[in-house]
Amino acid sequence: MSDFDFLIEQSILSCPVCNNSLQKHEKLYICENGHNFDIAKQGYINLLQSNKKHSSDPGDNKNMINARRNFLERGYYEPISNLLNEVFISNIPHLSNPLQVVEVGSGEGYYINRLKDCHDGNYYGVDISKHAAKTASTKYHNITFVVANAVELPFINNSVDVLISLFSPFYEESAKKVLAKHGIIIQAVPLNNHLLELRQVLYEKVNINPIPKNVLTQAKYFKLAATKILNHSLQLSDQASIQDMFSMTPHYWKTSPDKIRELSSLQKLDITLEIEFRIYTNED
């Protein structure tokens, strides 16, 4: 650390080596034991240790992140973001100043960026994909993007006021550790008809949308306080949007080449969004 590397703030981030809090300096984060993590030139930090990775490039790849960025920038999912903001504003716990908000699996940052304009606070986006953190921090500022695994969230105990998870893996034990006693969780999960028309093109037989892995269906530590359902129809009116939507979903991994060709011939696709927002409080 140089003499010109000033202390900027004490953050709620924790050191992945010793769990002490990390302090932000101009160019790095450092804990009291001297473990330090550079701030990348785009502004994100990588707290994912190589011995904790299950692959050399975990999470969404560059193509998926670019597709997500292109798609979200066209505003198709603004109704989801608007409902998230509404749910957030009406459930904010007013006990903390500054409010500490963390999105887990934040992708390229669209939702947390729109959320941060709703209320003052410190905003963090965590994703296991370094492409996600890089793409997010290049465009969106005043949010700390962190490469880390949701299984071991890198925050000090009981420090997070609002934990958000949108269509992303969620691990209850890890959330329990970092959430403040008065904290809340906002989770968005797809319901049966979500992206039904896309699934009808991709599969011979359309199954009920499986509940994704690790959502809080039977929460052990949290209490379901409220739900809100979004039903919305939109039309994708060009091939690029159809391809981008496809590439940002888990169907990207499991679709046959035939079906990909079929999708490539479409110029229009009506799409149903059906999503449930769930608000959980900490159960103690």
Ligand X SMILES: C[S@@+](CC[C@H](N)C(=O)[O-])C[C@H]1O[C@@H](n2cnc3c(N)ncnc32)[C@H](O)[C@@H]1O
| Residues 46/134, Cβ–Cβ less than 8 Å | no
Does 35 bind Zn ion (CB under 5 A)? Our answer is: yes
| Residues 56/124, Cβ–Cβ less than 8 Å | no
The nearer residue to Zn ion, 17 or 225, going by C-beta atoms, is 17
Does 190 bind ligand X (CB under 6 A)? Our answer is: no
Q: Which does 100 bind (CB under 5 to 8 A by kind): ligand X, Zn ion, none?
A: none
Among 30, 128, 160, 215, binds ligand X (CB under 6 A): 128
Tell me the angle at which helices 62-73 and 239-247 cross, rounded to the nearest 10 degrees: 130
The nearer residue to Zn ion, 13 or 195, going by C-beta atoms, is 13
Chain positions 174 to 193 lying near Zn ion, rule: CB under 5 A, are none
CA distances (Å), origin 259, targets 35, 97, 108, 233, 240: 49, 51, 27, 23, 16
Does 127 bind ligand X (CB under 6 A)? Our answer is: yes
The nearer residue to ligand X, 16 or 107, going by C-beta atoms, is 107
Among 46, 113, 135, 168, binds ligand X (CB under 6 A): 168
Among 14, 149, 174, 187, binds ligand X (CB under 6 A): 149
The one segment of 1-9, 116-124, 144-152, 258-266 that binds ligand X by CB under 6 A: 144-152
Q: Which residues contact 186 (CB under 8 A, 6 or more apart)?
A: 84, 87, 88, 91, 162, 163, 164, 165, 277, 278, 279, 280
* Run of H or E residues at 137: helix 130-139
> Which tokens sit at 213?
């892995």
Does 183 bind ligand X (CB under 6 A)? Our answer is: no
Among 1, 18, 211, 225, binds Zn ion (CB under 5 A): 18
Cα–Cα nearest to 135, from 52, 59, 223, 50:
59
Question: Please, how many CA atoms are within 13 Å of residue 279, restricted to the half-sphere of its CB?
Answer: 21
For the chain, what is the total number of helices (H) and then of strands (E)? 9, 12
Chain centroid offset of residue 223 CA: 21
The nearer residue to ligand X, 30 or 48, going by C-beta atoms, is 48
Among 107, 154, 183, 190, binds ligand X (CB under 6 A): 107
Chain positions 62 to 101 lying near ligand X, rule: CB under 6 A, are 68
CA distance 164 to 278: 10
Among 12, 13, 15, 216, binds Zn ion (CB under 5 A): 15
Among 13, 115, 160, 166, binds ligand X (CB under 6 A): 166
- For the chain, how many residues are written? 284
Q: Which does 127 bind (CB under 5 to 8 A by kind): Zn ion, ligand X, none?
A: ligand X
Does 13 bind ligand X (CB under 6 A)? Our answer is: no
CA distance 84 to 186: 8
Does 48 bind ligand X (CB under 6 A)? Our answer is: no
Residues that bind Zn ion (CB under 5 A): 15, 17-18, 31, 33, 35
Residues near ligand X, by CB under 6 A: 59-60, 68, 105-107, 110, 126-129, 132, 149-151, 166-169
